[in-house]
């Protein structure tokens, strides 16, 4: 969810995509071109601010929670993250609270229902991918694996960038880990999980912490 620069550095899959390209610098960063004031993203929108402050970059474990994040990152592709965030309650209602076992049983009638649901993003390819991904989660379970273990096995050794990025331009859209994760997910049958979407999910789920150096989450 959220973001790379919530998803991302020049990409439509991250929250950073909705962030301004330039802003008034934070105290102490005034001489750094591109340094931003306030949060990495979300200032001025209470929902977005809450997401930034309490969710983005916070470690997430548990297959249902991670499955939801992967689905929402896929739905965000090509859109602003705030669009998905505002629709999250409707997505949860439409997708059985993102319970993989329930979504894996969705059939053509469910697809038709979802395509007619104005509360969500009605994209056939993304809907099909979400159902396929639920079945991929069950496939992992059948093999004695978990989505949690698969994702976290691709977390970088250093979770927090050192030094932290000061500007959005320093935050990558993909990394070697996200490319490896995307490949591993596709091997297991997951869809709509390219390297950029995979990195956005890594950011959103706390596998990496990409809060900028001047962000209040960092500075307190």
Q: Which residues are part of the catalytic machinery?
A: 51, 73, 81
Q: Rounded to an integer, what distance in angstroms lies between the CA atom of residue 143 and that of residue 138?
A: 9
Cis peptide before 162 (omega within 30 of 0): no
Please give the full DSSP string across 78-118, using - where no structure is assigned. Answer: TS-HHHHHHHHHHHHHHTGGG-HHHHTT--HHHHHHHHT-T
- CA dist 23 → 34, 133, 138, 167 (Å): 7, 39, 45, 10
Q: Rounded to an integer, what distance in angstroms lies between the CA atom of residue 123 and that of residue 34?
A: 35
- Which 3 state secondary structure label does DSSP give 220? coil
């Amino acid at each position: 969810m959220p973001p790379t620069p919530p998803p991302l550095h020049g990409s439509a899959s991250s929250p950073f995509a909705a962030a301004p390209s330039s802003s008034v610098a934070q105290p102490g960063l005034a001489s750094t071109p591109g340094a931003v004031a306030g949060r990495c993203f979300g200032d001025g929108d209470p929902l977005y601010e809450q997401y930034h402050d309490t969710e983005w970059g916070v470690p997430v474990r548990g297959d249902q929670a991670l499955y939801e994040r992967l689905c929402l990152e896929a739905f965000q592709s090509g859109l602003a993250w705030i669009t998905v965030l505002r629709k999250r309650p409707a997505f949860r209602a439409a997708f059985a609270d993102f319970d993989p076992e329930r979504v894996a049983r969705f059939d053509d009638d469910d697809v038709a229902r979802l395509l007619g649901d104005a509360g969500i993003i009605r994209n056939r390819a993304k809907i099909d991918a979400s159902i396929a991904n639920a079945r991929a989660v069950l496939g992992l379970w059948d093999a004695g694996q978990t989505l949690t273990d698969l994702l976290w096995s691709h977390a970088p050794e250093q979770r927090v960038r050192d030094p932290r990025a000061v500007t959005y331009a320093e935050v990558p859209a993909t990394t070697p880990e996200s490319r490896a994760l995307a490949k591993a997910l596709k091997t297991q049958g997951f869809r709509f999980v390219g390297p950029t979407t995979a990195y956005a999910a890594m950011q959103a789920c706390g596998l990496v912490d990409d809060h900028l150096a001047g962000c209040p989450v960092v500075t307190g």
